[in-house]
């Protein structure tokens, strides 16, 4: 989901700091969403690599760092209404000048609720950029600066050539797609992401004309983030083995109307942009499946993020930020994978395990299971969501942020939607409080059980075309209940 | 006579090496018998004994390297396994922890690795232990009986049990295992607290599950092998190479078969380690290039580098495997980076005009074009033949080589599309294969914070000796060694390994002097478990290590302990060592308190081994038998002197460019290198000047 992040940031750096002002040992930091950044927590570091006395290349790194201030701990300002509520903003600034740390480091630390953590993260980014630079320098030593430059251009040209060859194989034409975002958590309206993808010989134009104006909430997706989504979605229709570099972008023109959710104007909040970039990707997948009918995919459940925080016995604050994933949409010819997030996310390996969590925090996980019947029914079934129950052992404050919960991932080509996920608190007195998609500061008591369910992926193709054997196999493996088989597929399965 | 046998079953060949107590070595190379690998094992042993003029009861030890466990898992040939776990977590293995890497990222049809676990054979049990070892819900006998009855009705081939936090208190899990064993007498039952009691439920459960999955197959295989050897009159014990480079008894391998997942790869690294002792090198880079893959690993002070994050069937880029791409097993495994570049790797030009080598391989059937067995694809071996490296007279085992077939294949696949001549095309294939293998070397050295220039590189396997010197050069490595009988080095490594066992225990606690006595007591208990497994007799060595982290972090790093007991006085030094390791690994220094996560013990029992082979005396008239044109970097094609390895003796020395033909491989000595024969007959190459 960061395929375009460094390429979108670098021009702003060069605008503010021309090459001839850079010195060996300089390191730059930036995160401004309106200058190529994504949102405040995604800090980008650049370190110039000098050859023959001038900067020829940059080592660049990016991670989501720990808290950088703003209205909510950990960058989860679910209902931020402008960028200033989301943390400290960094235009391109020197973090190190000729090897010496600048005061910027102290400013970043002072603006964080967990200064040690965030500075540790920033220093890790710097160490990464140094490593890149050292290795590039070793290449310069071995091949010479011009030799390396020739290789770099060669590999960019190679990726470009293969991308063009693959685009050329797509039938020419303009293909339209769209996706509607259910809510921004602030206003009463929905948001459309509309796209027209024009395949013209060996090039592609992706135009978001017709997309809704930007949100007063946090769901806006910066140019950088939207562009990452575009390159991801287009690449899904090309040979996946093409190496990823800037050459892949050369045949692709991206048109982002200003003032929309895919290219917001300042001071829009951008931290909740996952839902929008996912919408942009699903709109493009929808559009391009028009030229490649065998490439049909249904939309997926997305990531659900939540924080649990409290004060332990000796008065210290504890806070943990956790994720769960929805089911992936069905693909032509294949059911969607379970609980592994949208196509552009990285998979379940980022979700912490229960044993180490219970060792660190005052809660007990009572169950974590695939949710039967949550995958959207269809000729091809959507992937399943999950249900996790967490028993809170102490008074805890809960914050949640989820998307595609009010309107679940829709089906495609006659398939049914996935079952929507959600959040709830089962109180000690037996009452159940349903939480909204995005909510922070929810107070829970010791003994309450926090429940999260993620959405299933959408189904693809009419249910009637699903083979009863596949339905029976789903029942045997617990992905569909016998009741669900009868209700959703009309297939009776003995218990 | 006393004989020691190493038997390495690979994808193509089964290598048998027999060492005698008077220093002779006998080698047999047979095609692997895939229907029943034991056929080639038994036949190879019979032939090698005959070669040596030895009787079956002269054999005192057989060490077996086998890919059985990996094959069973990757080919899904294990049986129906019941998975028994804590109520609420029956989907633990199916949910998995996949990561989307490389090509998968843009593949809308990606699938996550699904373990061979069936919902209908999954049993959830009412019980619960907490992270601190408190039993929140005891396993009631009635509940254990209910589950055991369900299991008995389902009649699985084996049972895997993993309860949450069983590493902290195994009582519930042990009671469940006991009930299972009662209900299913004779059925293989693996409990996580017995197999690998380490925190993190997914990896521990998967390790346990895979143990159960492989168990019945391994038990049948080993007991059958035993019987066939007894029929031959061979009564000595069979031992199995385990994944961390030690050896385990057949009984232990039957109990914990998952320990053999990297048995074959480990043997090669052990061979390089054995060579490191005779070379007097404390850091060795092991480079094993065979028919389909090349593997790189490191050996420090004779001990192979290990990883605790092995993924069965894992993948990643450039030889590194990424968590989440296969099935993780937590047992220690030799840290190998593997790339799909071997002698059989196929060279091709992609649609955008870029030369590629692999990952497809011509394997042994049909094999490289030059083998004349029907292969028409251009392979690395074909390129090496056209470069003049491979002996055109053919290979051991009567394989003759067709230069015309190699020219035809390489011309069509590479030279014509690229518009270059045949030798340039062959050189390009050789160099692209080298670049892929260099990436694997990079993974186990630079990515681990190690400077490759501090290493001696050991090249073996059928194709390794043709590539190793040039690869070493690209890393600035000054010394290269190619072991005598390089083509069967892994089998030789088997007989040089000692018996060993690894145990772990999770203990999350602040690393402070007050905890020292408790930690020491736990270490002593772990060592006792190890001794119970290996037996007390003979000389043993103990290596202790801890996994530690900064408080608040999720992941830990392994720090070896200095010899001696853990005392309050020793704790500050241990903290300092952790901080050093952390700095080396991440380049940053943190001042936060340190906590322990896992305690690890490895116990090794030193066993009798055959003496190192002794090189024959040089043959009168010298070792050179002719010349052939060969292509080298910088100097181009030259008429290179050709030597026969077996005509050389200790102290013989050659100057590159030249070629040394052995029975199963050729050592390429590039310009600027000197090659010398050591006392064992190994060739040691050094960069001149």
- CATH number of the domain within which B471 lies: 3.30.420.40
Q: Is B270 a member of any domain? A: no
Asked if B41 and B179 sit in the same domain, the reply is no
B352, A165: Cβ pair inside 8 Å?
yes
Asked if B203 and B231 sit in the same domain, the reply is no
First to last CA, chain A: 43
Q: What are phi and psi of A138, to 5 degrees?
A: -65, -35
Q: Is B273 a member of any domain? A: no
User: Would you tell me which residues 159-218 of chain B have a C-beta closer than 8 angstroms to some C-beta of chain A?
Assistant: 164-165, 167, 199-202
Which tens digits make up the pLDDT trace of B325-348?
889 999 999 999 988 888 999 999
What chain B residue is nearest to A358 in terms of C-alpha separation? B131
Q: Is B578 a member of any domain? A: yes
Report the DSSP pairing between strands B128-129 and B13-20: unpaired
Q: Is A39 a member of any domain? A: yes
> Domain containing B454: what range?
281-336+439-485
Q: Give yes or no for B130 touching A (CB within 8 A).
A: yes
- CATH number of the domain within which B130 lies: 3.40.50
Inform me whether the pLDDT recorded for B454 exceeds 90.
Answer: yes
Partner-chain residue, chosen from B99, B164, B586, that has the shortest CB–CB distance to A346 = B99
Asked if B50 and B99 sit in the same domain, the reply is no
CB B501 within 8 A of CB B248: yes
Asked if A222 and A335 sit in the same domain, the reply is no
Last residue of a domain, one of A272, A293, A314: A293
Asked if A94 and A40 sit in the same domain, the reply is yes
Domains of chain B: total: 6
Partner-chain residue, chosen from B88, B100, B106, that has the shortest CB–CB distance to A367 = B88
Asked if B428 and B445 sit in the same domain, the reply is no
What chain B residue is nearest to A130 in terms of C-alpha separation? B587
A127, B200: Cβ pair inside 8 Å?
no
The count of other CB atoms within 10 Å of the CB of residue A317 is 11
What chain B residue is nearest to A360 in terms of C-alpha separation? B552
A476: DSSP letter: H
CB pairs under 8 A between A and B: 132
Q: Give yes or no for A293 touching B (CB within 8 A).
A: no
CA B342 to chain centre: 16
Partner-chain residue, chosen from B108, B324, B592, that has the shortest CB–CB distance to A297 = B108
CB B667 within 8 A of CB B653: no
Partner-chain residue, chosen from B95, B130, B199, that has the shortest CB–CB distance to A364 = B130
Q: Is A372 a member of any domain? A: yes
Asked if A303 and A251 sit in the same domain, the reply is no
Per-residue pLDDT band for B396 (boundaries 50, 70, 90) equals low
Q: Is A152 a member of any domain? A: no
The continuous run of DSSP H or E covering A50 comes out as: strand A42-51
CB A102 within 8 A of CB A96: yes
Q: What is the DSSP track for B407-442?
A: HHHHIIIIIHHHT--HHHHHHHHHHHHHHHHHHHHH
Partner-chain residue, chosen from B92, B98, B354, that has the shortest CB–CB distance to A349 = B98
Residues sharing a CB contact under 8 Å with residue B662, sequence separation 6 or more, in sequence order: B465, B484, B485, B486, B487, B645, B646
Inform me whether the pLDDT recorded for B363 exceeds 80.
Answer: no
Q: Could you give the C-alpha distances from B75 to A195, A204, B336, in angstroms and in order?
A: 44, 42, 21
Asked if B317 and B456 sit in the same domain, the reply is yes
Q: Is A249 a member of any domain? A: yes
pLDDT of residue B588: 65
Q: Could you give the C-alpha distances from A13 to A58, A90, A103, A128, A232, in angstroms and in order?
A: 11, 11, 19, 18, 24
Q: Closest Cα of chain A to B504: distance in Å?
A: 16
Per-residue pLDDT band for A231 (boundaries 50, 70, 90) equals very high
Inform me whether the pLDDT recorded for B398 exceeds 90.
Answer: no
CB-based burial label for B240 (10 Å; 0-12, 13-18, 19+): buried
CB B637 within 8 A of CB B663: no
Asked if A347 and A472 sit in the same domain, the reply is yes
Angle at A261 between CA A442 and CA A434, to 5 degrees: 25
- CATH number of the domain within which B560 lies: 3.30.1490
Report the predicted TM-score, pTM, of the whole model to 2 decimal places: 0.92
On chain B, the residues whose CB falls within 8 A of the CB of A346 are 99-100
Inform me whether the pLDDT recorded for B200 exceeds 80.
Answer: yes
Q: Three-state SS for B163?
A: coil
Residue B239, sorted as left (phi over 0), alpha (psi -120 to 50) or beta, turns out to be beta
pLDDT of residue A117: 81
Segment A230-258 shows an average pLDDT of 94
Domains of chain A: total: 3
Q: Give yes or no for B356 touching A (CB within 8 A).
A: no
The continuous run of DSSP H or E covering B355 comes out as: strand B355-361
Asked if B481 and B572 sit in the same domain, the reply is no
Segment A280-307 shows an average pLDDT of 91
Asked if B599 and B544 sit in the same domain, the reply is yes
**Which range, of A456-465, B9-18, B541-550, averages the lowest pLDDT?**
B9-18
Q: Is A148 a member of any domain? A: no
pLDDT of residue B585: 73
Mean residue pLDDT of chain B comes to: 91
Asked if B513 and B574 sit in the same domain, the reply is yes
User: How far is Cα A284 from Cα B620, in angstroms, rounded to an integer?
Assistant: 76
Which tens digits make up the pLDDT trace of B484-497?
889 889 998 898 88
Asked if B47 and B86 sit in the same domain, the reply is no
Q: Is B362 a member of any domain? A: yes
Segment A455-470 shows an average pLDDT of 97
User: How far is Cα A459 from Cα A419, in angstroms, rounded to an integer?
Assistant: 10
Inform me whether the pLDDT recorded for A315 exceeds 90.
Answer: no
pLDDT of residue B397: 60
Residue that is written with structure tokens 């039938």 in the block: A171
User: How far is Cα B153 from Cα B148, in angstroms, rounded to an integer?
Assistant: 9
A263: DSSP letter: B
On chain B, the residues whose CB falls within 8 A of the CB of A124 are 586-588
Q: Is A93 a member of any domain? A: yes
Q: Is B612 a member of any domain? A: no
Which tens digits make up the pLDDT trace of B456-506?
999 999 899 999 999 999 999 999 999 988 988 999 889 888 989 999 999
Q: Could you give the C-alpha distances from B185 to B152, B214, B667, in angstroms and in order?
A: 10, 18, 55
What chain B residue is nearest to A295 in terms of C-alpha separation? B108
User: How far is Cα B285 from Cα B304, in angstroms, rounded to an integer?
Assistant: 10
- Extract the tokens encoding B529: 């478990």
Asked if A275 and A186 sit in the same domain, the reply is yes
Q: Is A157 a member of any domain? A: no
Last residue of a domain, one of A293, A315, A334: A293
> Domain containing A330: what range?
296-495
- Extract the tokens encoding A147: 């030799």
pLDDT of residue B102: 67
Q: Is B535 a member of any domain? A: yes
Segment B536-560 shows an average pLDDT of 86
User: Would you tell me which residues 570-589 of chain B have a C-beta closer than 8 angstroms to some C-beta of chain A?
Assistant: 586-588
Asked if A312 and A366 sit in the same domain, the reply is yes
User: Would you tell me which residues 293-332 of chain B have a C-beta closer than 8 angstroms to some C-beta of chain A?
Assistant: 323-324
Asked if A12 and A114 sit in the same domain, the reply is yes
User: Would you tell me which residues 369-398 of chain B have a C-beta closer than 8 angstroms to some C-beta of chain A?
Assistant: none
Asked if A281 and A357 sit in the same domain, the reply is no
Segment A221-231 shows an average pLDDT of 97
The continuous run of DSSP H or E covering A137 comes out as: helix A115-143
Mean residue pLDDT of chain A comes to: 93
Asked if A256 and A310 sit in the same domain, the reply is no
B108, A131: Cβ pair inside 8 Å?
no
Per-residue pLDDT band for B322 (boundaries 50, 70, 90) equals confident
User: Would you tell me which residues 492-521 of chain B have a C-beta closer than 8 angstroms to some C-beta of chain A?
Assistant: 508
Q: Closest Cα of chain A to B128: distance in Å?
A: 9
Q: Give yes or no for B99 touching A (CB within 8 A).
A: yes
Inform me whether the pLDDT recorded for A346 exceeds 80.
Answer: no
Partner-chain residue, chosen from A241, A295, A337, that has the shortest CB–CB distance to B111 = A337
- Extract the tokens encoding B668: 């390429």
Asked if A336 and A465 sit in the same domain, the reply is yes
Q: Is B619 a member of any domain? A: no
Inform me whether the pLDDT recorded for A316 exceeds 80.
Answer: no
Segment A194-202 shows an average pLDDT of 97
Q: Is A470 a member of any domain? A: yes
CB A229 within 8 A of CB A344: yes
Q: Is B683 a member of any domain? A: no
Closest CA to A101 of A178, A213, A26, A184: A26
Q: Closest Cα of chain B to A281: distance in Å?
A: 12
Asked if A461 and A386 sit in the same domain, the reply is yes
pLDDT of residue A78: 67
Up-side HSE of residue A92: CA atoms within 13 Å toward CB? Answer: 21
CB A231 within 8 A of CB A240: no
Asked if B544 and B412 sit in the same domain, the reply is no
**Which range, of A184-188, A420-424, B129-133, averages the lowest pLDDT?**
A184-188
Q: Where are the alpha helices (DSSP H) in B198-243?
A: 201-231
Asked if A135 and A173 sit in the same domain, the reply is no
pLDDT of residue B95: 93
User: Would you tell me which residues 216-245 of chain A have a C-beta closer than 8 angstroms to some C-beta of chain B?
Assistant: 232, 235-236, 238, 240-241
């Amino acid at each position: 989901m960061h395929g375009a992040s460094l390429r979108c940031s670098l021009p702003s750096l060069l605008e503010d700091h021309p090459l001839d002002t850079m010195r060996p040992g300089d390191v730059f930091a930036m995160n401004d969403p309106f200058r190529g950044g994504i949102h405040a927590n995604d800090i980008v570091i650049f370190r110039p690599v000098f050859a023959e006395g001038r900067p020829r290349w940059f080592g660049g790194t990016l991670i989501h760092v720990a808290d950088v201030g703003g209205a909510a701990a950990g960058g989860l300002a679910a209902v931020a209404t402008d960028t200033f509520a989301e943390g400290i903003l960094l235009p391109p600034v020197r973090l190190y000048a000729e090897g010496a740390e600048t005061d910027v480091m102290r400013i970043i630390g002072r603006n964080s609720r967990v200064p040690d953590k965030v500075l540790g993260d920033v220093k890790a980014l710097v160490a990464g950029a140094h490593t890149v630079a050292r290795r590039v320098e070793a290449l310069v030593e071995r091949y010479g600066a011009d030799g390396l430059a020739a290789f770099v251009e060669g590999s960019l040209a190679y990726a470009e050539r293969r991308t063009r060859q693959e685009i050329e194989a797509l039938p020419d034409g303009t293909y339209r797609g769209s996706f509607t975002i259910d809510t921004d958590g602030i206003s009463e309206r929905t948001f459309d992401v509309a796209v027209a993808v024009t395949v013209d010989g060996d090039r592609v134009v992706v135009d978001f004309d017709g997309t809704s104006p930007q949100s007063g909430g946090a769901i806006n997706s910066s140019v950088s983030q939207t562009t990452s989504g575009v390159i991801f979605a287009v690449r899904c229709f090309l040979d996946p083995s093409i190496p990823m570099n800037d050459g892949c972008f050369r045949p692709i023109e991206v048109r982002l109307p200003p003032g929309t959710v895919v290219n917001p104007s300042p001071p829009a909040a951008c931290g909740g942009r996952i839902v929008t970039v996912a919408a942009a990707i699903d709109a493009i997948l929808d559009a391009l499946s028009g030229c490649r009918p065998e490439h049909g995919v249904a939309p997926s459940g997305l990531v659900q993020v939540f924080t649990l925080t409290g004060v332990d016995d000796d008065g210290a604050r504890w806070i943990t930020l956790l994720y769960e994933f929805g089911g992936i949409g069905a693909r032509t010819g294949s059911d969607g994978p379970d609980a592994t997030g949208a196509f552009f996310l990285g998979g379940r390996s980022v979700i912490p395990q229960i044993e180490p969590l219970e060792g660190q925090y005052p809660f007990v996980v009572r169950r974590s299971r695939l949710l039967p019947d949550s995958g959207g029914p269809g000729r091809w079934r959507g992937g399943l969501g999950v249900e996790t129950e967490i028993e809170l052992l102490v008074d805890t404050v809960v914050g949640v942020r989820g998307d595609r919960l009010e309107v679940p991932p829709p089906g495609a080509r006659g398939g049914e939607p996935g079952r929507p996920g959600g959040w709830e608190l089962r109180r000690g007195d037996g009452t159940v409080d349903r939480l909204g998609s995005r909510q922070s500061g929810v107070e829970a008591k010791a003994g309450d059980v926090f429940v999260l369910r993620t959405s299933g992926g959408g189904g693809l193709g009419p249910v009637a075309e699903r083979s009863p054997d596949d339905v029976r196999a789903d029942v045997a493996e617990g992905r569909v209940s016998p009741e669900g088989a009868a209700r959703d597929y009309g297939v009776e399965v003995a218990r | 006579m006393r004989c020691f046998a190493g038997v390495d079953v690979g994808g193509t060949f089964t290598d048998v090496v027999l060492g005698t107590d008077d220093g002779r070595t006998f080698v047999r190379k047979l095609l692997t018998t895939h229907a029943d690998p034991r056929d080639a094992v038994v036949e190879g042993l019979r032939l090698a004994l005959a070669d040596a003029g030895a009787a079956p009861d002269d054999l005192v030890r057989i060490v077996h390297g086998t890919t059985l466990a990996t094959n069973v898992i990757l080919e899904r040939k294990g049986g129906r396994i019941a998975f028994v776990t804590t109520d609420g977590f029956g989907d633990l293995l199916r949910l998995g922890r996949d990561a989307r890497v490389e090509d998968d990222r843009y593949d809308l049809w990606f699938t996550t690795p699904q373990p061979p676990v069936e919902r209908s054979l999954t049993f959830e049990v009412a019980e619960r232990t907490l992270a601190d070892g408190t039993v929140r819900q005891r396993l009631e006998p009635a509940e254990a009986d209910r589950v055991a009855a369900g299991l008995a009705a389902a009649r699985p081939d084996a049972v895997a049990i993993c309860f949450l936090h069983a590493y902290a208190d195994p009582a519930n899990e042990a009671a469940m295992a006991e009930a299972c064993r009662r209900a299913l007498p004779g059925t293989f039952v693996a409990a996580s607290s017995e197999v690998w009691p380490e925190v993190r439920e997914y990896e521990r459960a998967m390790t346990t599950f895979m143990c159960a999955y492989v168990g019945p197959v391994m038990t049948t295989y080993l007991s059958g092998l035993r019987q066939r050897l007894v029929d031959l009159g061979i009564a000595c014990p069979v031992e199995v190479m385990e994944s961390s480079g030690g050896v385990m008894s057949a009984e232990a391998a039957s109990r914990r078969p998952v320990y053999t997942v990297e048995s074959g790869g480990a043997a090669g690294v052990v061979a390089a380690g054995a060579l490191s002792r005779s070379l007097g090198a404390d850091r060795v880079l092991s480079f094993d290039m065979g028919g389909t893959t090349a593997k790189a690993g490191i050996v420090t002070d004779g001990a192979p580098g290990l990883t605790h994050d092995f993924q069965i069937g894992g993948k990643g880029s450039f030889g590194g495997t990424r968590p989440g791409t296969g099935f993780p097993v937590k047992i220690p495994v030799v840290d190998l980076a593997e790339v799909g570049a071997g002698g059989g790797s196929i060279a091709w030009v992609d649609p955008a005009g870029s030369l590629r080598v692999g990952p497809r391989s011509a394997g042994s059937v049909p094999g490289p074009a030059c083998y004349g067995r029907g292969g028409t694809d251009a392979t690395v071996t074909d390129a090496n033949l056209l470069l003049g490296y491979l002996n055109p007279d053919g290979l051991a085992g009567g394989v003759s080589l067709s230069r015309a077939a190699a020219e035809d294949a390489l011309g069509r696949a590479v030279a014509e599309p690229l518009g270059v001549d045949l030798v340039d095309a062959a050189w390009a294939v050789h160099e692209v294969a080298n670049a892929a293998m260099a990436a694997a070397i990079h993974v186990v050295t630079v990515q681990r914070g190690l400077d490759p220039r501090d290493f001696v590189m050991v090249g073996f396997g059928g194709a390794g000796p043709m590539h190793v010197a040039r690869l070493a050069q690209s890393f600035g490595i000054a010394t290269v060694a190619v072991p005598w009988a390089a083509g069967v080095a892994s089998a030789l490594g088997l007989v040089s390994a000692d018996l060993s066992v690894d145990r772990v225990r999770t203990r999350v606690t602040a690393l402070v002097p007050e905890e020292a006595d408790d930690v020491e007591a736990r270490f002593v208990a772990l060592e006792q478990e190890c001794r119970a497994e290996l037996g007390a007799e003979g000389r043993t060595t103990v290596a202790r290590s801890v996994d530690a982290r900064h408080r608040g972090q999720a992941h830990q790093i392994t720090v070896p302990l200095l010899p001696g007991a853990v005392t309050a006085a020793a704790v500050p030094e241990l903290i300092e060592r952790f901080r050093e390791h952390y700095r080396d690994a991440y380049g940053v220094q943190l001042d936060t308190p340190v906590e322990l996560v896992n305690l690890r013990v490895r116990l090794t029992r030193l066993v009798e081994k055959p003496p190192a082979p002794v090189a024959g005396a040089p043959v009168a008239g010298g070792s050179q038998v002719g010349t052939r044109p060969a292509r080298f970097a910088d100097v181009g094609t030259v008429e290179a002197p050709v030597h026969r390895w077996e005509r050389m003796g200790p102290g013989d020395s050659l100057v590159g460019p030249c070629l040394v033909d052995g029975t199963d491989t050729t050592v390429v000595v590039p310009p600027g290198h000197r090659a010398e024969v050591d006392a064992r007959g190994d060739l040691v190459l050094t960069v001149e000047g």
